[in-house]
Amino acid sequence: GLLITTGDKWRRHRKAIAPTFHMSILKTFVPLFYENSIDLVRRLRDEVGKEFDCHDYLSAVTVDILTETAMGVKREKRQ
């Protein structure tokens, strides 16, 4: 993986994934990021005044964004 390798192996991995992170491609995901952010804020507002684990919410939104950007799979929104 890119995060734990060094040297030539790191360069090969970096070169392979660099096009994925080009600004023109990332800009196409802004509406998706926005939609997921709004959904996250809505769900967090439901927890105001309560003790809760934000890790669960952040993990869920991360999975939602990754599955939609990488695989085009959109999950049903949680209530």
| 77 part of a folded domain | no
Query: 10-residue block means of pLDDT along the chain (79 residues)?
Result: 81 81 84 95 94 92 91 74
| 24 part of a folded domain | yes
CA distance 19 to 56: 31
| 38 part of a folded domain | yes
Structural domain span for residue 66: 7-71
Specify the number of domains making up the chain: 1
Count CA atoms within 13 Å of residue 77 on its CB side.
Answer: 11
pLDDT digits over 17-37, tens only?
777 777 888 898 899 999 999
| 41 part of a folded domain | yes
| 53 part of a folded domain | yes
| 1 part of a folded domain | no
Residue that the structure tokens 């995060």 belong to: 3
Q: Is the pTM of this model over 0.85?
A: no
CA distance 15 to 37: 30
